[in-house]
Amino acid sequence: MEEEFRNFGLMQRRRACGQGFTLIEMVIAVALLLTLAALGIPIYQSYLDRARNTTAESDIAVLQLKIQVYQEENDKLPDSLSDVKWGKPDPWGHPYQYLNFADAGPGWKGKARKDKFLVPLNSTYDLYSNGKDGQSNPPLTTKVSKDDIIRANDGAFIGPASMY
């Protein structure tokens, strides 16, 4: 009988020890998870930003081709992107910006995008995405224009305004 009592006590101790985690173990596990999240979230966000930029660049390249086809078929540039049957927004949910200034006549200054020397980026039309912040100004040197995805040099450059 004494032996049964000892075995019962041993079983109770085993159950008590194996029933869960201690507070210290839980704190260590949570700290480890938070550290991994702190490292992983910025890396994932950077990946998403690069993917969105690449999508916008490819969309602008496709739009440029559609505009070129429209121009060859109609002997003029389209008045808007709806003329080339484009309604898709940029990766951030904003509409792509298109400005035809070739048909506006000589000397037209308007809202053409300009480089750091305030020289227009293109000779016929501007095509760009306002980028992540959804804001833009004609000169690329302004802070809100740095994240824009632009078409420059009449299509020879398509990419972030900060890289131009």
Cα-to-chain-centroid distance, residue 68 = 26
Q: How far is it, in rounded angstroms, from Cα 99 to Cα 78?
A: 10
- pLDDT for the residue 34: 94
| Across 29-53, average pLDDT | 93
Judged by DSSP in three states, 158 sits in strand
Per the CB < 8 A criterion, the answer to whether 93 and 86 are in contact is no
Instruction: Give pLDDT, residue 12.
Output: 55
How far is it, in rounded angstroms, from Cα 50 to Cα 54? 6
The CB density around residue 163, as the number of other CB atoms within 10 Å, is: 10
Asked whether the predicted pLDDT for residue 3 surpasses 90, the reply is no
What six digits make up the tokens of 94? 């904003």
Taking only the tens place, the pLDDT of each residue in 97-153 is 999 987 776 666 667 888 888 888 998 999 999 999 999 988 888 899 999 999 999
The whole-number pLDDT of residue 4 equals 55
| 66 Cα distance to chain centroid | 23
**Tokens for 123?**
């000779």
CB 136 within 8 A of CB 112: no
Mean pLDDT over the full length of the chain: 87
Give the chain's domain count: 1
H or E element at residue 90:
none
User: Residue 80 pLDDT > 80, yes or no?
Assistant: yes
pLDDT mean over 40-66: 95
pTM of the model: 0.77
Q: Give the model's confidence band at 13: pLDDT under 50 very low, under 70 low, under 90 confident, else very high.
A: low
Domain limits for position 153? 2-163
More confident residue, 103 or 5: 103
Average pLDDT of the segment spanning 86-90: 94
